[in-house]
Structure 1
Amino acid sequence: MKLSRPVSWFLLAFGVWSWIIWVTFIKNLAADGSGLAFDDGHPTAYFWVHLLLAVVSFVLGTAIGVIGLRGLRALRRTS
């Protein structure tokens, strides 16, 4: 199955967006000073749940971006 050029670019852009958003989220989570993420220096359940959410979203976003990149490469080879 071939992806169209606009769809491939959208998927690639989504992958890049995922890197920006989720890396920033993890940095902010690690630096949390509100007491939600850490209790006396130890990670809380809130921290672990949100870290898991961020990592899964990051991995899925990366996979989607790779699909977009592969779609663009396939279109370039056939042109």
Structure 2
Amino acid sequence: MRLSRAASWFLLAFGVWSWFIWVSFVRNLWKDGSGLAFDAAGDPTAYFWVHLLLAVASFLLGTAVGVIGLRGVRALRRESRTEAGA
């Protein structure tokens, strides 16, 4: 399958954006002082585990989408170099 330049860059940007957002979210989740993520004894709550699982799934999906976009961008660059040399 061949991706367009716009689709490749969009997927790459989405992957980077996903990592940025979810790293920030996990950092904030870890520092949570509201009592949602950790109980009074300092143990993680169900809220913490569910949201950590969501973040991990988003890291994996963001990475997969970003890699697809990166491969598309790299393929387009190789193609343009081949055409320029021909």
- What TM-score range do you get, normalising by the shorter chain? over 0.9
1:62 positional shift: 1.0
Q: Deviations over 1:12-71 (max 9, x none)?
A: 000110111000000000000000100111000110000000110111011100100000
Larger radius of gyration: 2
What amino acid does structure 1 have at the position aligned with 2:65?
I
Structure 2: any 5+ residue segments left out of the alignment?
81-86
SS at match of 2:26: helix
Percent sequence identity over aligned pairs:
80
Query: RMSD between aligned alpha carbons?
Result: 0.5
Identify the residue that residue 15 of structure 1 maps to in structure 2. Answer: 15
* Counterpart mapping for 1:31-50 below 5 A: 31-39=31-39, 40-50=41-51
Runs of 4+ in 1 over 3 A off after TM superposition: none
Compute the TM-score of the two structures, normalised by the length of structure 1.
0.97
Structure 1: any 5+ residue segments left out of the alignment?
none
1:77 positional shift: 1.1
Report the Cα distance in structure 1 between the residues aligned to 2:79 and 2:28, rounded to whole angstroms. Answer: 43
Report the Cα distance in structure 2 between the residues aligned to 1:2 and 1:74, rounded to whole angstroms. Answer: 9
Report the Cα distance in structure 2 between the residues aligned to 1:73 and 1:2, rounded to whole angstroms. Answer: 12
Compute the TM-score of the two structures, normalised by the length of structure 2.
0.90
Identify, as 1 or 2, the structure richer in strand: 1
| Count of paired positions | 79
